[in-house]
A and B are shown apart, each in its own frame.
Chain A
């Protein structure tokens, strides 16, 4: 990661998205932002507030409520030389655009043998813990990470948000950029000033340890880190890895860590069955079986569609630092 200056600014995740989008709009005329309520309203989290005043309605497009064509039109823009950033207002609304993402954007380069490409970014807030109930809380990465031709990132820290969003914008292929909405204002951090990118496909070791590897991303990596730090008081040494990038995923960092600690716990907010953890488990079992001193475990959401609106339902669905600590402790002591 090349950082042009040594100074930095403290900001939260939503500010990091905003600042990065602003610079992209300023620096490249080909950048177009389109989505519902992104113009006059400036996005429902105020991410693009006042952008339309500075960059004009041709570059900040308030679309009709039509997710399939938000993405489809963006695909056409990308094929014809623009650099569109399409927004799906909540990840829960992305399903009508499924074909455009999976069947069209992901396949443009492949089906045309490289004659046409699709440099597209699709941004969307996902995740729960905000009393968002069944349709404002889901995680969607498992639906899309399966698809060759797509890229998916889910940064958890503001510095990563900026670096990865810049990388996504520069990427010549379609990138699904997932922003955990609970971390928007909750997570603050130092963000280096100036333009920089973080390469896709590189995880980040947040905390080193020797007895257990914990792999996570999004809101849950913050809770996992908290849990691991609290378990240090019980004498446990736990390594916490922030995936940051789901496709491509950093196999090397995961394997190096598991070879050291011999135990792996995958923690994610999405459902357990068929979630990201299933693929990581299979990979580690296939490539590092004889380093494992315990079964690979996954601490994930139960097999129900989403979290309910009533508080006890949300709490039951979601994990917590204490629940995660329990899972970590069990595996360390195995």
Chain B
């Protein structure tokens, strides 16, 4: 049996030693306790006694060479007659960074290390009420500041604990997302590590698996159900000729971007038209309550924004008081905040009507779900070049865009809703390159 001899630690705090002189060479025999090498450190010189009786098989370090404590310096072939050899390591204390020669007795506490890491704290999770009780001080404070009910949040911490990060992410979600079709992809709300087996993620769903609900999906689900089960949804659509509007926008967009840093989309034009139509049809800017239909004084337009990890509806307050340029800047700021995850409670609250640019996804028509507490939600669908029959029966190629409206039939009926849509269409078709932003 071969025994590896390692550099001993001669003296407290010593971390290396030098082989001063080999007292035996390869092939020599050595008795247990017989000195076979002389080692020196900056504190002491010492002869090292062999731990076994045997023959020197290998000498691994040259005379004059310095190695770290615990490094192998020789191999001795033990002779059978010797009593059981002590562990090969000649009392080295393993240097913390050194991987060499860890003492065999480390098995015990290595297992303990695993046990420590495997042990999960018994906290959080369970029922929503338990989640509230187990909420940490940070969770309670953040929930208070963002006016979120901890019980509504799905926790991603150990044992399903609601973490502070979970609260912050939920705060970014804001009031209900409006759209019913495929939205956020790649939801990754602070969870670490790969999903458990049998599951996949929202960003990469695998057939035959379950995508566990994070709090984003849970909130969306909750709010969609609430809205659909409360407000009887009706639906209407108009087709709008935006050829001139498109020309106007095209003419302005470069200068606008240069001057403000924001992109000029069709959205601010659309919102401008929407707020004017809302002024003409105030019941569209209302809310159904038990006491009656509350007609909002303010016009605060929510803009549905779908991001990679989130779906948010920040609100442009007093949108009726803003020009197209003002709407573009306000909208641009909100979108930037949303992208950075910096929307605050104020940004997300107080909406009275919602618009959604579903056309950006290529949709031609959609039936959005109303934001609870509002009377309607209107979309801009994709702008498509089509052959159209004009007033004089001529056929021309025009840019056509559908606008779809879901309405709360408790508040308005077809008369008001269609009137609103028709009014919106008129205003949009009147917008052209001679307009002022």
Contacts and interface: CB of A to CB of B under 8 A. Distances in A.
A130 B103 CA distance: 15
B14 interface: yes
B43 A46 contact: yes
B116 A14 contact: no
B117 A130 contact: no
Contacts of A320: 96, 109
A290 B96 contact: no
A236 interface: yes
B141 to A, nearest CB: 4
B117 A330 contact: yes
B161 interface: yes
B389 to A, nearest CB: 60
B12 A130 contact: yes
Given A236-B192, A294-B136, A334-B121, A186 B15 contact: yes
A311 B94 CA distance: 10
Given A226-B96, A323-B116, A334-B123, A262 B164 contact: yes
A316 B119 CA distance: 19
B307 interface: no
Contacts of A330: 116-117, 119, 121
Interface string B48-62: 000000000000000
A325 B96 CA distance: 13
B93 A130 contact: yes
Contact of B137 (A131, A132, A289, A333): A289
Main secondary structure, interface of B, reads loop
Contacts of A46: 42-43
B418 to A, nearest CB: 52
A334 B134 CA distance: 12
A235 B192 contact: yes
Contacts of B163: 293
Interface stretch (A53-61, A177-185, A192-200, A271-279): A177-185
A293 B105 contact: no
Interface in A309-334: 311-312, 314-316, 320-323, 325-327, 329-330, 332-334
B105 A223 contact: no
Contact of A292 (B12, B138, B157): B138
Point out which of A222, A290, A329 has the most chain B C-beta atoms below 10 A from its C-beta: A290
Contacts of A116: none
Contacts, number: 100
Interface in A163-186: 181-182, 184-186
A294 B161 CA distance: 10
Given A290-B138, A290-B141, A131 B12 contact: yes
Interface string B74-117: 00000000000000000101011100000101101110111011
B140 interface: yes
A93 interface: no
Contacts of A234: 192-193
A323 B105 contact: no
Interface string A223-241: 1001000000011100000
A298 interface: no
Interface residues of A, number: 44
A327 B116 contact: yes
A185 B93 contact: no
Interface string B127-148: 0000000001111110000000
A97 B92 CA distance: 34
Contacts of A289: 137
Contacts of A186: 13, 15, 95-96
Q: Which residue, A219, A223, A294, has most C-beta atoms of chain B within 10 A?
A: A294
A236 B114 CA distance: 18
A129 B94 CA distance: 9
Contacts of A107: none
A333 B116 contact: no
Interface string B142-175: 0000000000000001100101100000000000
A293 B13 contact: no
Interface in A141-159: none
Contact of A131 (B93, B95, B109): B93
Contacts of B103: 311, 315
Contact of B13 (A14, A222, A262, A316): A14
B237 to A, nearest CB: 47
Contacts of B106: 315
Contacts of B15: 185-186
Contacts of A162: none
A185 B13 contact: yes
A1 B231 CA distance: 67
A293 B164 contact: yes
Interface in A8-60: 14, 45-46
B156 to A, nearest CB: 10
Contact of B161 (A291, A312, A334): A334
Interface string A247-276: 000000000000000100000000000000
15 contacts: A14-B13, A46-B42, A129-B96, A130-B93, A131-B93, A181-B12, A184-B13, A234-B193, A235-B193, A290-B137, A311-B91, A314-B93, A329-B117, A330-B116, A332-B192
The 10 closest A-B pairs by CB, nearest first: A130-B12, A326-B116, A293-B138, A290-B141, A293-B164, A184-B13, A326-B117, A290-B137, A293-B136, A289-B137
Given A293-B163, A316-B109, 6 more contacts: A45-B13, A129-B96, A131-B91, A262-B138, A312-B108, A323-B109
